């Protein structure tokens, strides 16, 4: 898939390719709702409102709505609980994290010349943690039909036996490495001992009732640093643009355990195994945004914004290990370890995530409050790994196009002011990015908050609740069974704002 890099670092090696998946592309295509506490309390419905540091992330024209210079910082505490159902067995796991969620500033330059219709220019910079990857999911239960042997068979069939037994692990492709683990761990056997054999059979006793545990822990972030400029025409029409730098750092550690109590055979067969996978992905990207807000009347506003594709340059590092126990009828258990103690470091690759268009409307009740609605459209099926003519990427790009679809996001927010006190609430709905609607389901979120204006200083507090169901396979190849997961996320955010 990619050219080989030659690195001479202890413990590191390089393979020709790593198997990217649809879920990897989707991870960097989706953003969670983050930002200032006011923004979160109103579920991000700011496309036609502006005047908030995080409104720049929806519509860059929003900075021209500011009357004065402003800077702010936001801290958040996030708690996520994942309830798992795997063939009727219920388990749960949770993760809590505290983070710097947002920091930014806007500087407004007014033109007081009455003959100039362009009344002001605003320049802003804003940082947001657009996705917090800290999460933990534990699933367990008894699968009545399928074993992980299907994973190793799917990778091994078609690979010559000589590629598994005669090549050094460092010189193997990712496909050959998966076949190597299956063979060296005695999970699969070649049909014949001929070096040119390309067919394999399972060494796991048939009969079903395989007890499984799958533990996934992820950490890291996806962040966006936006450089903004905006202007207003007669204080009726606002235009803005962002240049965005994206930074990602993602770690995923998974451990899959299988045990079966099927009758022992005269030959040694697998009684239990543990398969460990560690992925580290890091890199950066670039995107731009354009937006406009129009005051149709003094109270009614419309907004339109476009966010381009994001072009990421990413790097992957992968390490794996397999531990199995084999036993024959009348024999003693034998422990087998397949651990190369090697990190595969891959050449960089490009991921293009889809763009997004947002339509907005808002009604402002003077100084008493407002109601705002945003509707955004993103076609996840347009995500692509590049170069698209790369043989290794053609398959996953085809899967992305076939599995992912166009998804809409509705955000509704309201604010009511009582002197210096502001009360806020919001609702957010995001459709499933998958055509089947179940691999990752629809998202529903509710939010609320309050703020107090001390004059030159403002303090905002927000609470949001999010729920989403998913059913992703433990593995994308061969053995694709997975648990039904219900994820519930609670977030509390605090923002301090200062007028300069």
pLDDT digits (tens, 9 = 90+) for 462-497: 999 999 999 999 999 999 999 999 999 999 999 999
Supply the DSSP string of 216-261, one letter for each residue: EEEEEEEEEEEEEEEEEETTTEEEEEEEEEEEEEEEEEEEEEEEE-
In this model, does residue 324 exceed pLDDT 90?
Answer: yes
Tens-place pLDDT, residues 278-303: 999 999 999 999 999 999 999 999 99
Residue whose token pair is 């166009």: 406
Is there a domain that residue 237 lies in?
yes
Q: What whole-number distance in Å separates Cα of residue 334 and Cα of residue 325?
A: 5
Helix (H, G, I), strand (E, B) or coil at 71: strand
Q: Can you give the CATH number for the domain in which 307 is found?
A: 2.40.160.60
66-70, 253-257, 392-396, 454-458: which range is least confident on average? 392-396
pLDDT at 267 over 60: yes
Q: Is residue 258 part of a domain?
A: yes
**191 domain-assigned:** no
249: Cβ contacts below 8 Å, ≥ 6 apart: 220, 221, 281, 282
Relative to beta strand 310-327, strand 343-345 is: antiparallel
Q: Which residue has the tokens 């409050």?
A: 369
108-111 long-range CB contacts below 8 Å, 24 or more apart? 108/63, 108/66, 108/67, 108/68, 108/69
Nearest to 305 by CA among 207, 239, 229: 239
- Could you tell me how far CA 499 lies from the centroid of its own chain? 34
DSSP letter, residue 298: S
Residue 175 lies in a domain: no
Q: What is the pLDDT of residue 435?
A: 97
Q: Which phi and psi angles does 175 have, rounded to 5°?
A: -60, -45
pLDDT tens per residue, range 27-71:
999 988 999 999 999 999 999 999 999 999 999 999 999 999 999
Q: Which of 194, 182, 54 is nearest to 130 (CA)?
A: 54
pLDDT of residue 380: 97
**Per-residue pLDDT at 207:** 85
Compute the average pLDDT of residues 194-205: 96
Model pLDDT for residues 419-460, shown as the tens digit of each residue:
999 999 999 999 999 999 999 999 999 999 999 999 999 999
Q: What is the DSSP letter of 183?
A: H
- Cβ-proximal residues to 245 (8 Å cutoff; 6+ apart), any chain: 224, 225, 227, 284, 285, 286
* Average pLDDT over every residue of 373-391: 92
432 three-class SS: coil
- pLDDT higher than threshold 60 for residue 8: no
pLDDT at 376: 98
Residue 462, token pair as written in the block: 């927000």
pLDDT of residue 22: 95
Residue 374 forms part of a structural domain = yes
- The pLDDT assigned to 15 comes to 46
Domains identified in the chain, total number: 1
pLDDT recorded at residue 344: 94
- Domain assignment present for 69: yes
Judging by beta carbons within 10 Å of its beta carbon (0-12, 13-18, 19+), is residue 387 exposed, middle or buried? exposed
Mean pLDDT of 171-190: 96
pLDDT score for 109: 96
Say if 298 falls within a structural domain. Answer: yes
What is the model's pLDDT at position 13?
A: 52
Q: Is the pLDDT of residue 9 over 70?
A: no
Q: Which domain holds residue 331?
A: 12-147+204-499
What average pLDDT does the structure give for the chain? 94
Residue 114 reports pLDDT greater than 90? no
Residues in CB range of 122: below 8 A, 6 or more apart = 63, 64, 66, 106, 107, 108, 109, 228, 229, 230, 231, 240
- Give the Cα separation of 281 and 7 in Å (integer): 18
pLDDT score of 14 more than 70? no
Whether residue 16 is predicted with pLDDT greater than 50 in this model: the reply is no
pLDDT of residue 261: 85
pTM of the model: 0.92
pLDDT of residue 10 exceeding 90: no
Q: Residue 2 pLDDT > 80, yes or no?
A: no
In angstroms, rounded to a whole number, what is the distance separating the alpha carbons of residues 34 and 54?
8
Mean pLDDT over 148-166 rounds to: 96
Three-state secondary-structure class, residue 53: helix
Is the pLDDT at 149 greater than 60? The verdict is yes
Whether 123 is in a domain gets the answer: yes
pLDDT at 209 over 50: yes
Cβ atoms of 214 and 138 within 8 Å: the answer is yes
């Amino acid at each position: 898939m990619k050219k080989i890099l030659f690195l001479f670092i202890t413990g590191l090696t390089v393979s020709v390719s790593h198997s990217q998946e649809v879920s990897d592309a989707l991870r960097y295509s989706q953003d969670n709702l983050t930002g200032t506490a006011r923004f979160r309390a109103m579920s991000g419905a700011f496309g036609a409102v502006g005047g908030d540091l995080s409104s720049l992330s929806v519509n860059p024209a929003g900075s021209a709505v500011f009357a004065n210079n402003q800077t702010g910082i936001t801290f958040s505490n996030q708690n996520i609980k994942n309830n798992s159902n795997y063939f009727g067995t219920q388990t749960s796991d949770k993760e809590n994290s505290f983070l710097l969620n947002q920091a930014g500033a806007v500087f407004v330059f007014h033109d007081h010349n009455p003959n100039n219709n362009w009344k002001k220019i605003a320049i802003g910079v804003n940082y947001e943690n657009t996705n917090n990857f800290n999460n933990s999911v534990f699933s367990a239960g008894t699968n009545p039909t399928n074993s992980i042997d299907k994973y190793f068979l799917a990778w091994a069939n078609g690979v010559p036996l000589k590629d598994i037994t005669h090549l050094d692990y460092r010189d193997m492709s990712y496909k050959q490495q998966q076949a190597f683990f299956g063979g060296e761990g005695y999970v699969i056997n070649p049909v014949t001992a001929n070096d040119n054999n390309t067919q394999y059979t399972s060494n796991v006793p048939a009969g079903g009732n395989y007890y499984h545990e799958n533990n996934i822990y992820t950490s890291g972030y996806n962040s966006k640093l936006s450089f903004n400029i905006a202007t207003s025409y007669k204080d009726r029409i606002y235009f803005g643009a962002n240049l965005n730098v994206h930074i990602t750092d993602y770690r995923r550690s998974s451990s899959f355990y299988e045990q079966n109590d099927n009758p022992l055979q005269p030959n040694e067969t697998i009684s239990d195994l543990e398969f460990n996978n560690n992925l580290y992905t890091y890199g950066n990207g670039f995107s731009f945004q354009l937006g406009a807000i129009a005051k149709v009347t003094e109270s009614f506003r419309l907004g339109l914004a476009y966010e381009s594709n994001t072009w990421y340059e990413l790097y992957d590092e992968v390490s794996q290990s397999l531990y199995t126990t084999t036993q024959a009828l009348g024999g003693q258990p034998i422990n087998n370890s397949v651990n190369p103690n090697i990190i595969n470091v891959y050449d960089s690759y490009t991921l293009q995530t889809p763009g997004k268009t947002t339509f907005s409307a808002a009604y402002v009740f003077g100084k008493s409050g407002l109601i705002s609605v945003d509707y955004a459209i993103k076609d996840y099926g347009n995500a692509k790994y590049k170069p698209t003519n790369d043989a290794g990427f053609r398959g996953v790009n085809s899967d992305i196009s076939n599995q992912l679809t166009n998804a809409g996001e509705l955000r509704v927010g309201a604010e009511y002011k009582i002197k210096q006190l502001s009360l806020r609430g919001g609702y957010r709905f995001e459709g499933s990015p998958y055509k089947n609607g179940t691999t990752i389901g629809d998202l529903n979120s509710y939010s609320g908050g309050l703020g107090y204006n001390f004059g030159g200083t403002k303090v905002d507090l927000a609470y949001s609740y999010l729920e989403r169901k998913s059913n992703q396979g433990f593995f994308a190849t061969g053995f694709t069974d997975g648990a039904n997961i219900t994820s519930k996320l609670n977030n509390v955010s605090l923002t301090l704002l200062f007028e300069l």
